Structure formats: structure tokens, C-alpha cells
Structure 1
Amino acid sequence: MSTDFPFDVITAEEYERQQRVHGGLTDAIRELIDAGIRTDVDDATALEAKAAVEAVTARLRSAQRTTTSTLRHAGTGLPLAWANPAVGLRNAIAPPMVIHHEDGGRCWAEFDLGLPYEGPPGLVHGGICALVLDHLLGEVASDGLTKPLFTCTITLRYLRGTPLGPVRAEAFVERSEGVKTFARGFLGDADGWTVEASGVFIRPAWARGTE
């Protein structure tokens, strides 16, 4: 029985090309989202911008895939997800989060949560904090998304509001018990942690070697 998700294997060169070209496009769309929220241009300029955006959208739709993909580096096995709302290479709603893995198993990311992620004025939406931590805990539990594990439960404790701007997130595995992996993580700013999380991640039946 297979223990892996279906995926397309790509060369190191293609992996880098995807990151360079489509990662750059996604960053540009993120800037557009931020600009759209902040803009105070006059009506005529707004209508001109709308037409320009619609034209670019039509151009991008001129060649479309019917399904999204999770690609894997042929050498390292590292994933390159397209649509994931936490780290999708082509998903501009995903925070600009690059996750680093340390030898001891801990992973971390430092990135910016700007105005598109606002909940209460000046603060990050609590659901975005949950999204980030759910993904980071899953990332560390699954050895960088190289093993099939699914979130069973996740508990978050909001210690204080998370200000918009630079943040740091960390996660580590506490222990494993059979098909369960227990992970913990934190999100915060320069003044300390704002959210803490704990989660249980389960290896699905189809990946255990038996039904």
C-alpha cells in the first residue's frame, strides 16, 4: 500500500524556475492586494486600474490547468504546493512565509503580516494566526510535509493581540505515540509570543501499511 500522496516529481532546475517565475508573480499580486486596500485614487483612476487588472486576468486565463498540483523536488523530495492558503507558491492570499528547518527538528519562519491580514484595527485576524500555526505544526510533525499526517486537533491560546507587521513563528515535536504526533508552536512579535498552539497529527489508515 502506498504511503505517499500522489505528486509530480520535477527536476531541481524546474523547481527553481517555478519558484523564481511564479513566486515572483505571486509577490506582485500580493502587492496589488495591499495597494487595492490602501489606494485613495480618484474614480477615473480606479476604473482605469480595474480595466487593466481585468485585462491581465484575461491574459493569465488564456492558458489554464484544470487541476492544481503539489510538486516534489526529484533530489530532496521537498514539496512545492501551488494552492495551499498557508504556503502556496501561486496563492497570493498565503502569507509570504518561508519555513526553515533545523537539524534538531524545530522549524521557524520570520515574515510580515500586513494590512491584508488585519482583523481588529492594527492587529492580525485571529484566524490568520490559527492558519499559520496549524500549518507550521503540521510542517514540523510531517518532517517538512514529506510524510502524510493530518490535523486531528489543534488548540490555540491567544495571549494578546498580534500587531500587524513583522512576526516570527516556531514549532517543534513534543512526542510521538504510535500513529499520533504531538506538536507545539508559537507566534509572536519583537515583544514576545502572542499566540501559542498545540496539536495532534494522525497518520491516516491508508498510510499505515494496514487498513
Structure 2
Amino acid sequence: MGGQPHDADLMAAVTELGTALRQLVDASVLTTVPADQLRAAAADAQAVTARLAASQRPATQLPALDDPVVFRRVYSPVSGVGSALAPPVRIRRVEGGVVAEALLGPAYEGPPGYVHGGVSSLLMDQLLGSAAIAAGLWGMTVHLEVDYRRPVPLSTPLTMRAQVTETAGRKCVVTGTIATAAAPDRTLVEARGVFVLPREELHADYFGTITDATGRHRPPARPTDATALSDADA
């Protein structure tokens, strides 16, 4: 996955758990088992929760496997291999921007058979920020416009693209699209985002409590340290 050396066995275990949790979420959405089996499954889930809660990091401490410099965020709700919330989306750099692939299952449903519009917005925010980083820029989201051209189908391979279209001082403008992999030129969702580099005097206010996995204070110095955050006063 690139970046600083990390514990490969821990990464594999986090990925296995994330995959299992996503499978559990999908199964819970589609299941038709009776109430007694649902209650038994809930008890099992609570037991697993207790096991995982036995040792936890503070919310202000980055996970040991994260490396923001190379955009490795293992619990990102969009791209994190360890997140039960993430599809996950896989993002890669290409000439002129970034491309991503994902498949959204029933847990992301809005209108029957289609992806919830808020999920499309979440994916676009992540992808536009990634395009800014790929261009050597960065910023926090201060404005995001999303146009829904056509509904996005569930359980269908998707292709997403984004690229920087304007830069001016601390601000950059990024645009992107969502389409199916089978028809990449038929836009389903189109987005435009404005990202602004926080003023130097605001860094301590925004990130003063963040530490690395060892507990050392490590305020953001790179774009990827802040892409998950959004503030209109950036």
C-alpha cells in the first residue's frame, strides 16, 4: 500500500475484519430470518463488540496503520479497508487526475434499487479531495455542488473520475463524475467542489489535539492529514 513500513500481519487482520463486517452489514440488510435468530445474532455482535472494546486508542490518535502522507487511512468511511462503512472505494492516480472504482451493495440503498444520493455526495467529496492531492494541492471542503443526472444503480461496478480545473492562491476547484463501468461516458452524477487551504493561524485550532500512533503531537503538515475534515471558515 506504499508509505512508511507497517505491520503487514496487522494490516491483513484489519482488512479481514473490515471485509467480514461489510459482509455482516450486507447480510443484516437482506436477511429474512425470524426474530429469535435476529436476537441471537445481536447477542453475538454485542460479544464481538466487547472483545474489540477491550483495548482502544483515543479518538484524537491516528491508527498505527495510517500514513496520511501517502493517503493511507485504513478506517476512512469511503476508502478504508478496515471500515464497515466503506464500500471500499479504490482510488488511483492517472494522467490529469484520479480514477476510482467501487460497487455499492444494498446497505447504500436510497430509492429502491439505487444508491442513496447522500452516499454519492460522500464519494464525490472524497474523490475531489483526492484529485486535489494528486495535483500537489490540498484544502478542506468549503463548497460542494452535486448534480444528479440519473440514478446510480446498486450492485453495479462504478467508475468515478475527478480533476482540478482551477487554482488561485489558497483555493482550488475540482470537478468529478460517477458513471457505471459499462458506460463510463454516460454521467450519472456530476460534482464540483471548492477546497481551501486553512490559514496558518487556524491549524492549532483544527488539529492541535491530533497525535500519531505513539501519542506524539503531530499537527497536519501534508494535504492528506486534513482531507476528512470540512469547515466553511477554512
Could you say whether these structures have the same fold, taking a TM-score greater than 0.5 normalized by the shorter chain as the test?
A: yes
Contact 2:91 2:98 in 1 (8 A): yes
**Structure 1 CA distance for aligned equivalents of residues 93 and 125 of structure 2:** 16
Partner of 2:227: none
Say which is worse superposed, 169-178 or 133-142, in terms of deviation.
169-178
- Describe how 1:1-211 pairs up with structure 2 within 5 A: 11-14=4-7, 16-67=8-59, 68-69=61-62, 71-72=66-67, 77-102=69-94, 104-143=95-134, 148-165=138-155, 166-189=157-180, 190-191=182-183, 192-206=186-200
- Per the normalisation by structure 1, the TM-score is 0.82
Contact 1:174 1:183 in 2 (8 A): yes
Measured against aligned partners, the alpha-carbon deviations of 1:97-147 in whole angstroms (never above 9, x if no partner) come to 111112x24111111111000001001000000000011001111228x76
Partner of 1:4: none
**Structure 2 CA distance for aligned equivalents of residues 19 and 197 of structure 1:** 33
Shift of residue 94, structure 1, vs aligned partner: 1.9
One-letter amino acid of the counterpart of residue 102, structure 2: F
* Number of aligned positions between the proteins: 194
Shift of residue 82, structure 1, vs aligned partner: 4.2
Contact 1:148 1:204 in 2 (8 A): no
**Structure 2 CA distance for aligned equivalents of residues 40 and 149 of structure 1:** 45
One-letter amino acid of the counterpart of residue 22, structure 1: V
Say which is worse superposed, 189-198 or 132-141, in terms of deviation.
189-198
Identity of aligned residues (%): 34
Runs of 4+ in 1 over 6 A off after TM superposition: none
Partner of 1:3: none
**Structure 1 CA distance for aligned equivalents of residues 51 and 128 of structure 2:** 37
- Per the normalisation by structure 2, the TM-score is 0.75
Contact 2:124 2:176 in 1 (8 A): yes
Q: Which runs of 5+ in 1 are unaligned?
A: 1-9
Note the aligned Cα RMSD (angstroms): 2.4
Partner of 2:216: none
